[in-house]
Structures are given as structure tokens and as C-alpha cells.
Amino acid sequence: MSVLERLTGGLVVSCQAKQGHPLRSAEIIARLAECAVLGGAVGVRVNAPEDVRAVRAAVGDLPIIGLHKVRAADRDIITPRFELAEGLAEAGADVIAFEATDRIDVAPGKFVARVHEELRLPVMADVATAAEGFAAWDAGADLVGSTLSGYTSDSPTREEPDLDLVAALAAYGARTVAEGRLVTPDHVRSAFAAGACAVVVGTAVTDPAAIARRLVASTPAFSGDTR
């Protein structure tokens, strides 16, 4: 099967940790990816060549969606330049994820075409709005992810997954990946029901600090009610 066929209908686990996080090392990211494999994930999503290389060595031929975050003034931009895609491909990524918003300098169509022609890899366009997703799909992206919904000025901030965006992209005919704030089994089921071909879950699986924080928020000590 092709990489896209292997991802279809399954869960992809995002294995990432920011600088300063206790899990921030390529070796630990690779261990998280191994855990994802044991849990039945059909792929992993990994940031930066160092981590992609370590994960590739740990998980064999499991599909890796590679991205390379670059810090901007207010947030990270996802793979904004082609040379970053080249580094991911050399490290062993099977799919190149990039940001298909106006924050990147190159038009999505040109970026997708270069990855297809020069790297011979499929491309996942991370978007925040339906219009961006439609444009990325029309430009030749192989996957369109709801990854950036709620993180840009033209998409609403929300606590729940943006399943309306997932549904809109799927209805347009895009091969849609639901990503962003998916935490529960119900979220995953709802994303597939909305038309997603695959679902990416990250923090809810691979960040023990965030998992603990979410549970601690339900305790009397957190609320101040210790009766």
C-alpha cells in the first residue's frame, strides 16, 4: 500500500516536545513513537530532522509525517521553506507537512510542486480555514489538515476540535486529516464521522504534563474546595 493508503482510517500520533520540556530529546521522542506503534497508531507526526531521524531508526517503515517548525513573533510556522522540506526528506520523512497560510513566502502550489517533483513525497497542507484548505487541495496537496484552526487571526479560538472545518474540507473532496484539540475517543469518532480520512492526536497522548494538568483541574485542591 502507499503511504496515504496506510494512513487512511487510522490514528496518527504527534510525537513532539518543545525546548525546555522534560521530554525534549530525540531519544525520548523516538520512545514515544515506539509507544504509539504499540498502541496501534498507523503513523506519527514529528518535528525537525533530528527527531525524524531518531524516530525512523526506532519504528522501521511506519509512516512519518515530518514538519519543521520555525519560530516567528507570535507562534511557530510550519516548514515555511523548501530547504527545510529537503532536510526532512533526507532524515526519512514519508510525508512533508507545511503551512498553507499567508505566513509562508511561497505559494502553496509552488511548494507542493517542488516537493512532488524533487523529493517525490506526498504533502500535507496545514490550514486554519476552509478557504485555505480548498486552495491547498486545488494546488495539489495530498492531505489537508485542520491543524491551525484556532491559531491564526482569521480562525476562531476554541477549546473543542474544529469539526466544522473537517466536514467542510471533506465535503469539498479534500483528503482531510483532523488535527487540533482532539482529546477523547468521542472526538476521534466524531472526526471520522465528519469525513476525516485520518486523525492526529498529540498532547492527549504524548505530554504527561498536559495530561496531569487536565486531571488536576478536576481536583478539590485545584478549585480551593478541600472540604
Phi, then psi, of 179 in degrees rounded to 5? -150, 140
Residue 191, classified by CB atoms within 10 Å of its CB into exposed (0-12), middle (13-18) or buried (19+), is buried
* pTM as predicted: 0.96
Query: Is residue 227's pLDDT more than 80?
Result: no
3-state secondary structure the chain: CCHHHHHCCCEEEEECCCCCCCCCCHHHHHHHHHHHHHHCCCEEEEECHHHHHHHHHHHCCCCEEEECEEECCCCEEECCCHHHHHHHHHHCCCEEEEECCCCCCCCHHHHHHHHHHHHCCCEEEECCCHHHHHHHHHCCCCEEECCCCCCCCCCCCCCCCCHHHHHHHHHHCCCEEEECCCCCHHHHHHHHHCCCCEEEECHHHHCHHHHHHHHHCCCHHHHCCCC
What value does the mean pLDDT take over residues 56-68?
98
pLDDT tens figures, 22-47? 999 999 999 999 999 999 999 999 99
What average pLDDT does this structure show over 8-12? 98
Mean pLDDT of 135-154: 96
pLDDT digits (tens, 9 = 90+) for 87-132: 999 999 999 999 999 888 889 999 999 999 999 999 999 999 999 9
Length of the chain: 227
Res 105: pLDDT:
87
pLDDT of 226: 59
Mean pLDDT value of segment 141-168:
95
Q: Which domains does the chain have, with CATH numbers?
A: 3-219 (3.20.20.70)
